Chain A
Amino acid sequence: MPTTNLRKLRTNLNRRKLINSGFAFLGATIIAIAIIILLGLTLKMAFQGAERITPEFFTSFPSRRASRAGILSAWVGTCLVMLVTAMAAIPLGVASGIYLEEYAKKNWLADLIEINVTNLAGVPSIIYGLLALGLFVYELRLGQSILSAGLTLALLILPVVIVTTRESIRAIPNSLREASYALGASKWQTIWDHILPYSFGSILTGVIIGLSRAIGETAPIITIGALTFIAFLPKSPFKSEFPFLSFEWLQAPFTVMPIQMFNWVSRPQAAFEINAAAAGTVLIGMTLGINAIAIFLRYQLRKDIKW
């Protein structure tokens, strides 16, 4: 009797193990398919565009001749817009996250803000474009400029930054807060000296996810009036006389990489498709670059934290 029982148990166990490994296999296959497709698409684009990725491609303005056309105004525009976006979204988003997590009383107002923030993350980007056209361009008269575009994209990624900030603050063990208070630190000292530095790595991840989304956005940027052909660059932010910094570039007209790509893809001449592929490869390179910086920073910051 005990032997049959044991045998039954074994068959049952084996069957479960089979199901288990079957599921693991299924999962691995799905991941492999997804990665192969992604890799395939990226590599195809990279190979198609490889011949056009030369130093001149980065230093020439758009042109009607595919071989002469470059992405200078586009990549400078993208970098400057991203700079404004980061400058606006990071302080605002992190501050909101801290407020909601550490200061806000749990009442209807906090609930309302919370619901709003979560919903904002799901709003289509064109809506942000229309909002920004009305608010930044017409009401605040910021013009169809780098500043407007950067602020628009900052709005777009704000929910992502706020939510990840809250998540990462919440992940910090409460004992750390208590230890800090026990030594006589004020609330702000606790946040600034402990909570923020410890959660910085995770906050950074959220910021990078947001920026990677913003860098590829076209719709809201076109809505507020980004250009397609622009053969000059914004004024330099550095000048020779005091105070050595100039902010005129914020007011400058601009274009960004995805718009340039879109324009090339829709041209009748096949040669422009190579340009589009090359620009796409550069854009992916830029995104990967931002990601690499984030991973490096996170590694640097986390290696000293132990708890």
Chain B
Amino acid sequence: MNYKQKGFKTAGILAIAAASVALVVPAVKSQSGSIIKIDGSSTVYPITEAVAEEYQIENKGATQVTVGVSGTGGGFKKFCSEDEAVRTDISDASRPIKEEEMAMCEAAGVEYIEIPVAYDAITVVANPENPIESMTVEELAQIWDPESEGEITNWSQVNPEWPDAEFVLYGPGADSGTFDGFTDKINGDEGASRTDYTPSEDDNVLVQGVSSDPNALGYFGYSYYEENQDKLKAIAIDAGEGAVVPSVETVRDGSYAPLSRPIYIYVNAQAAEKPEVAEFVEFYLTNAEGLVPEVGSVPLTPEEYQEGIARFQNGETGTTAAK
């Protein structure tokens, strides 16, 4: 009996101690107010996070913003959910909404306003020691075509002027929006890619791979190139009007084609009538130009942000970008 009491007492004291440490801090820091729920693409996430952070500093916690990262597709699943408890107010998307997602939203009675917030430029990178400076879209397509698998393995097979050496390919995995975008623009069919390359969902792994192998070629989002310019070389892309290197200027004026594309937020039209959501979206669009470069992405032009604000204020629902 004595043993038992003692044992349970010790356990009890420790449990109470652990619980109070975990529970007292929330008591000090928690605040109340309305919540704006955002979820979606990991490409848009750093921008939305920066805006949400600034917005909450600005309004001192009166409105709380939460941001999740479940991918563009996963984000739309929540955005167009039948279940109101799960439904998000805003969805981050690195590509326009797809037809089946539109159908899902329609079924749930969700109308949305599509607003571009920045550019994402898919950057083709090589090791700085690689003599190749530019590629045409056709050459890129030949390297990454599904039919090239096991057939085209040497630079000189693609272009006789290029070195006689085997290349090693790096790219994002098939779940990534960057993969969808690249295969769509280069191979002409979303998802069509050779598979004998090193895939990784973590772009830092791709950076590591390309920067340590002189014969490596890879592609990923512009921000990863911008942060690692000392270790990587961006390949200029020639879509028929001369080779263009990706940079803030060439992406903004549209000359870096076809690998640059806008990324979006989708705002639930019903939620947009709530004053705090409207305030947040307008805060987003007026501050994006300053915040977007801070997280390594390419901002839209001021006019394009103005158009976005106008679109939002007029409540123009639907998509203009989707195919």
Interface residues of A (CB under 8 A from B): 61-64, 72, 76, 79-80, 83, 137-138, 141, 143-144, 193, 197, 200, 222, 225-238, 249, 253, 263, 265-270, 293, 296-297, 300-301, 304-305
User: Across the interface, do B69 and A231 meet the contact criterion of CB distance under 8 Å?
Assistant: no
CB nearest neighbor in B for A239: B27
| A and B contact pairs by CB, cutoff 8 A, 12 listed | A62-B49, A62-B53, A138-B86, A143-B86, A144-B85, A227-B66, A227-B67, A230-B67, A238-B24, A293-B14, A301-B10, A304-B3
CB nearest neighbor in A for B31: A232
Query: In the docked arrangement, what's the CA distance between A297 and B53, Å?
Result: 42
User: Across the interface, do A235 and B32 meet the contact criterion of CB distance under 8 Å?
Assistant: yes
With A64-B49, A293-B18, A305-B3 as given contacts, are A230 and B66 in contact (CB-CB < 8 Å)?
Answer: yes
B45 at the interface (CB under 8 A from A): yes
Instruction: Choose from A63, A83, A144, A268 the contact partner of B203 (Cβ within 8 Å).
Output: A268
Interface centre among B7, B48, B50, B294 (most CB of A within 10 A): B7
**Residues of B close to A296: CB separation below 8 A:** 14
Stretch at the interface among B106-114, B186-194, B222-230, B234-242: B222-230
User: Across the interface, do B226 and A228 meet the contact criterion of CB distance under 8 Å?
Assistant: no
Query: In the docked arrangement, what's the CA distance between A79 and B4, Å?
Result: 28
Give 1 or 0 for each of B22-57: 1 = CB within 8 Å of chain A CB: 111111011110010101001001101110110010
With A64-B46, A144-B86, A231-B64 as given contacts, are A249 and B26 in contact (CB-CB < 8 Å)?
Answer: yes
Tell me how far the C-beta of A197 lies from the nearest C-beta in chain B, rounded to whole angstroms.
5
**Residues of A close to B45: CB separation below 8 A:** 228-229, 263
Tell me how far the C-beta of A214 lies from the nearest C-beta in chain B, rounded to whole angstroms.
15
B61 at the interface (CB under 8 A from A): yes
**Residues of A close to B14: CB separation below 8 A:** 293, 296-297
User: Across the interface, do B86 and A268 meet the contact criterion of CB distance under 8 Å?
Assistant: no
Interface centre among A64, A235, A297 (most CB of B within 10 A): A64
Tell me how far the C-beta of A137 lies from the nearest C-beta in chain B, rounded to whole angstroms.
7
Known pairs A229-B68, A234-B30, A249-B26. 14 more at Cβ < 8 A? A137-B86, A144-B86, A225-B86, A229-B45, A229-B49, A230-B67, A231-B65, A232-B61, A233-B26, A233-B30, A263-B69, A265-B202, A267-B46, A268-B204
User: Across the interface, do B26 and A268 meet the contact criterion of CB distance under 8 Å?
Assistant: no
Tell me how far the C-beta of B283 lies from the nearest C-beta in chain A, rounded to whole angstroms.
15
**Residues of A close to B46: CB separation below 8 A:** 64, 267
Query: In the docked arrangement, what's the CA distance between A70 and B313, Å?
Result: 35
With A200-B7, A268-B296 as given contacts, are A231 and B26 in contact (CB-CB < 8 Å)?
Answer: no
**Residues of B close to A137: CB separation below 8 A:** 83, 85-86
CB nearest neighbor in B for A58: B25
CB nearest neighbor in B for A230: B66
User: Across the interface, do B30 and A266 meet the contact criterion of CB distance under 8 Å?
Assistant: no
Query: In the docked arrangement, what's the CA distance between A293 and B21, Å?
Result: 14
User: Across the interface, do A197 and B86 meet the contact criterion of CB distance under 8 Å?
Assistant: no
User: Across the interface, do A237 and B23 meet the contact criterion of CB distance under 8 Å?
Assistant: yes
Interface residues of B (CB under 8 A from A): 2-4, 6-7, 10-11, 14, 18-19, 21-27, 29-32, 35, 37, 39, 42, 45-46, 48-50, 52-53, 56, 61, 64-70, 78, 83, 85-86, 201-204, 221, 223-224, 226-228, 291, 294-296
Query: In the docked arrangement, what's the CA distance between A200 and B228, Å?
Result: 54
User: Across the interface, do A228 and B67 meet the contact criterion of CB distance under 8 Å?
Assistant: yes
CB nearest neighbor in A for B67: A229
CB nearest neighbor in B for A237: B23
CB nearest neighbor in A for B207: A268
Query: In the docked arrangement, what's the CA distance between A83 and B15, Å?
Result: 10
User: Across the interface, do B32 and A79 meet the contact criterion of CB distance under 8 Å?
Assistant: no
Instruction: Choose from B3, B29, B32 the contact partner of A197 (Cβ within 8 Å).
Output: B3
**Residues of B close to A300: CB separation below 8 A:** 6-7, 10
Query: In the docked arrangement, what's the CA distance between A293 and B223, Å?
Result: 44
**Residues of A close to B50: CB separation below 8 A:** 64
Query: In the docked arrangement, what's the CA distance between A233 and B64, Å?
Result: 10
Query: In the docked arrangement, what's the CA distance between A137 and B86, Å?
Result: 8
CB nearest neighbor in A for B4: A197
CB nearest neighbor in A for B228: A268
Query: In the docked arrangement, what's the CA distance between A144 and B46, Å?
Result: 22
Tell me how far the C-beta of A136 lies from the nearest C-beta in chain B, rounded to whole angstroms.
11
Query: In the docked arrangement, what's the CA distance between A241 and B294, Å?
Result: 46
Tell me how far the C-beta of A148 lies from the nearest C-beta in chain B, rounded to whole angstroms.
11
With A233-B26, A236-B26 as given contacts, are A268 and B52 in contact (CB-CB < 8 Å)?
Answer: no
Interface centre among A138, A197, A227, A265 (most CB of B within 10 A): A227
